[in-house]
A and B are shown apart, each in its own frame.
Chain A
Amino acid sequence: DIQMTQSPSSLSASVGDRVTISCRASQTMSSYLNWYQQKPGKAPKLLIHGASSLQSGVPSRFIGSGFGKDFTLTISSLQPEDFAIYYCQQTYSTPRTFGHGTKVEI
């Protein structure tokens, strides 16, 4: 299985901050990397697919980048509704594994 390592596991930030979350794969996987946002008691929501493609309806402050083994999710200006847990997911091979999540707190 491809192991996904997210960092940091949690971070504290303020509204308006630029936030960066990293995801590293245990092997190279082209751009088969997706990002999800999950709020308490809710299902995850797709933000970014294919490493850098913004899902329809998602604000443009969410930016995905990376290729191969190293990927990044950037929130360019943190908004109050962005406080949540963020997960990366590899879809290069099965099983489609997720990172352990990054909790973005106030």
Chain B
Amino acid sequence: QLQLQESGPGLVKPSETLSLTCTVSGGSISHNDYYWGWIRQAPGKGLEWIGTIYYNGDTNYNPSLKSRVTISVDTSKNQFSLKLSSVTAADTAVYYCGRIVIGDSYCVDVWGQGTTITVSS
């Protein structure tokens, strides 16, 4: 059974770079049929799409975050990562990683449990 697990620092200072890793277990990240992505949810708010990556490194970012976001993949470790630079309090959120099915729906069919990131000095 495929599982995704986010890991990260929990607390990040304003203006610094947030770094998160998603570890995929129970299946290979190098699969033709899936993208891998990041979604976040600010406290009490809805879901925001951050971006996706394919195992070959192709990425797609939300234009609203594109200037600050980098998503990368490490197939040897079965992991993908998120870097968000110049963070502010507005980046405080639960960050989820997910598997996206390529095809007729591009749905997120498997989600990590989420990791809470607080931006504060």
A99 touches B105 (CB 8 A): no
Q: Is the CB of A49 within 8 A of B49?
A: no
Selecting from B18-26, B56-64, B71-79, B82-90, the interface stretch reads B56-64
Within 8 A of B (CB), among A8-24: none
Report the nearest B residue to A30, measured CB to CB: B104
CA distance A36 to B49 in the complex (A): 14
Assembled-state Cα–Cα distance A34/B48 (Å): 14
A41→B80 CA distance, assembly (Å): 23
Contact A101 B106, beta carbon cutoff 8 Å: no
Mark each residue of chain B from 86 to 121: 1 if its CB lies under 8 Å from any CB of chain A, else 0.
000000000010000100111111011110000000
Q: Does B11 contact A (CB under 8 A)?
A: no
Contact present for A50 and B109 (CB under 8 Å): no
Contact at A95–B111, with CB atoms within 8 Å? no
Interface of A is mostly: loop
* Option from B46, B105, B108 in Cβ contact (under 8 Å) with A53: B105
Q: Are B46's CB and A34's CB within 8 A?
A: no
Assess the B47–A95 pair: CB atoms within 8 A.
no
B104 CB contacts on chain A under 8 angstroms: 31-32, 50
Checking A43, A46, A98 against B46 with a beta-carbon cut-off of 8 angstroms, the contacting residue is: A98
Q: Is the CB–CB distance between B47 and A34 below 8 Å? A: no
Question: Nearest chain A CB to B95's CB is how many angstroms away?
Answer: 11
| Max chain A Cβ within 10 angstroms of own Cβ: one of B96, B104, B112 | B104
A-B contact pairs, 11 of them (CB 8 A): A34-B108, A36-B47, A43-B111, A45-B111, A46-B108, A49-B107, A87-B47, A91-B105, A98-B46, A98-B47, A98-B49
On A, residues with C-beta under 8 Å from B are: 1, 31-32, 34, 36, 42-46, 49-50, 53, 55, 87, 89, 91, 94-101
